Amino acid sequence: MALSTSQPVQNNVQSSPGTGWPRRTAPVKSSTCPSLNRHINLYPLSNYKFGTKEPLFEKDPSVPARFQRMRDEFEKIGMRRSVEGVLIVHKHGLPHVLLLQLGTTFFKLPGGELNPAEDEVEGLKRLLTETLGRQDGVQPEWTVEDTIGNWWRPNFEPPTYPYIPPHITKPKEHKRLFLVQLPDKALFAVPKNYKLVAAPLFELFDNSQGYGSIISSLPQALGRFNFIYM
Amino acid sequence: MNNNDKLDDLDHEYSRSEWTTDEDISDCIISIGVSDLIDVTFFENYESGQSKGFCIITLQSEHSVKLILNKLPNKKLYGKSPIVTYVTFEAYLFFQTKSNTQPMPSLLINQNIPDISNRVMQESVSENPLLLMQEQSTSILMKDMQLNSSENSYNQGLPRSSDRYLLNRLNLSINAYKQGLHKKFQAMPLSRHDLLSFDVGNHSSNLAYTQDISIQGQQLPKYATSFSNTPSSVTCKHNEMEISPQKFNEIIRRNRIISSSAIARAITNSENGEFSDAMETLITAIKLIKESKIANHESSNIIVRSLQDVLHIIEIKKL
């Protein structure tokens, strides 16, 4: 298939008058199939306002406590289901991902654990509102657009992978990432113990040391979207 | 098979034992009449999550341990007989080497006997100094051993470099420790002992490190003397059980053997330029010690810090 389409192009190049420059390809007619051409509107960072609210503490006081609770809950309710939202704005003509910063070196996407049997989209909206929702009772408008990725934790340990290793029949956590379309303007209330940062994609790209394997792979995962800078 | 001559899905690069699942193993164990399996934990490549083909089986009773040692080697897992052994660091190194160099990466298993009524058994088990007892347990290593000479062309890549995240964390802990700030270090919460004995701990840590390095050429280090600041009893992390001083010293001795073998091995590896292997060995040793019954005690922290120091040195060498 790839061969048959590239052949005529080559012929065209050969038959064109020799300007020395390759011919510009004709404008590509984009497919109308929505899954092949995903448009996502991005609004400038300056459209959004950020306030603060009461601190929102993690459920577990330490890393060992986190895995111990995961272990305990696995016995009772099985694999943990987590959802996280990827919220994107633009600045200087580049998408920026909103990340919550805890301390100086730890970054995470807004989201969290689903309740047993909770719908993942509803759960994500609940968690986003808990984390970033404003205080004045106005309900934030979250539009969950698309799945960006799935990550699994094979053991009660830090590593997660975008697949289930084949020797694992019972993964301990399934984390799903969603692209969330932001409204054109919004007010977010950020818990006092966090900072909200807008990280440019080039900062995240190939930087698992700084952001972990999930966040640092977002530039690749987001590459399939056609971002419209509003 | 013949229809797929053109299909190179890279599966032939890996042995069947790398695809063996935890369920395959538990089914196999149940099929020989063992019903008290507690856990199956695989050794994995940290970066990819891929199985190394060996695992640790944890069992409830010594009876089951014996049953498995006797019967499991005769079972076939995907046409191959597994190797089953007690968990020792030597066995780990052996399987690790196999999984790095052989066409057939291995299948490894450990086995634990949790606590309480097992005191007698533990005593008898602990006569074997090479036995790694994790928590209250007897352990078994199991490995798929059949070598396939027809797969000489097997070309398994070098183990990937150890995970940056883990190294970061270890570096963090080393730095925090060096600055005397380690009680604030979240990932490794310290017990009350540590706060009280910080100065002593810091001092002994250097001692331990020098000692470990200096004995690297010897066969088996002998730690006849008990640890200087050994308390008469220690609260166990997992089951709140008191450990006798005798038992405690024995576990310390075992941990120190693990540590010194790992350091010796890591140094040899890094001298040969095999830094990833060296780091993996150290990381595994740290993990084993952190999982031991006395993981919360200062002596374990000291050993872990020595290992982390060496890890840090090797990491710098690697760069």
Three-state DSSP string of B233-298 = CEECCCCCCEECHHHHHHHHHHHHHHHHHHHHHHHHHHHCCCHHHHHHHHHHHHHHHHCCCCCCCH
- Angle at CA B167, nearest 5°, toward B164 and B172? 125
| pLDDT for res B69 | 86
Cβ neighbours of B138 (radius 10 Å):
29
Cβ of B20 under 8 Å from any chain A Cβ?
Answer: yes
User: What's the first-to-final CA gap in chain B, in angstroms?
Assistant: 45
State whether B22 and A170 contact (CB < 8 Å): yes
The pair of structure tokens assigned to B159 is: 């183990």
State whether A165 and B46 contact (CB < 8 Å): no
Per the prediction, chain A carries an average pLDDT of 87
The pair of structure tokens assigned to B274 is: 């095999």
Q: Which residues of A touch B50 (CB under 8 A)?
A: 165
Of the candidate CATH numbers 3.40.140.10, 3.40.350.10, 3.90.79.10, 3.40.50.460, the domain formed by A48-229 belongs to: 3.90.79.10
For B57-98, what is each residue's pLDDT tens digit? Answer: 888 888 888 888 888 888 887 777 888 887 777 777 777 777
For the cut 60, the answer to whether the pLDDT of residue B171 exceeds it is no
- Alpha-carbon span B139 to B200, nearest angstrom: 33
Cβ of A129 under 8 Å from any chain B Cβ?
Answer: no
For B33-65, what is each residue's pLDDT tens digit? Answer: 888 888 888 888 888 888 888 888 888 888 888
| pLDDT for res A193 | 92
Q: Which residues of B touch A209 (CB under 8 A)?
A: 164-165, 168
For the cut 50, the answer to whether the pLDDT of residue A150 exceeds it is yes
* CA of B130 vs chain A CAs: smallest distance (Å): 27
Cβ of A103 under 8 Å from any chain B Cβ?
Answer: no
Of the two residues B29 and A87, the one the predictor is more confident about is A87
Task: Work out the average pLDDT over A50-60.
Answer: 90
| pLDDT for res A198 | 94
As a three-state string, the secondary structure of B134-187 is CCCCCCEEEEECCCCHHHCCCCCCCCCCCCHHHHHHHHHHHHHHHCCCHHHCCC
For the cut 80, the answer to whether the pLDDT of residue B117 exceeds it is no
Each domain of chain A, given as residue ranges in start order, spans: 48-229
Which residue on chain B is closest to A164 by alpha carbon?
B49
Is the distance from CB of B141 to CB of B110 less than 8 angstroms? Answer: yes
Task: Work out the average pLDDT over A147-176.
Answer: 95
- Alpha-carbon span A110 to A196, nearest angstrom: 10
Cβ of B11 under 8 Å from any chain A Cβ?
Answer: no
| pLDDT for res B230 | 30
Cβ of B50 under 8 Å from any chain A Cβ?
Answer: yes
Is the distance from CB of B164 to CB of A209 less than 8 angstroms? Answer: yes
Q: Give which of A167, A173, A209, A214 to mutate to test B binding, by max B Cβ within 10 Å.
A: A167
Cβ of B291 under 8 Å from any chain A Cβ?
Answer: no
| pLDDT for res A143 | 93
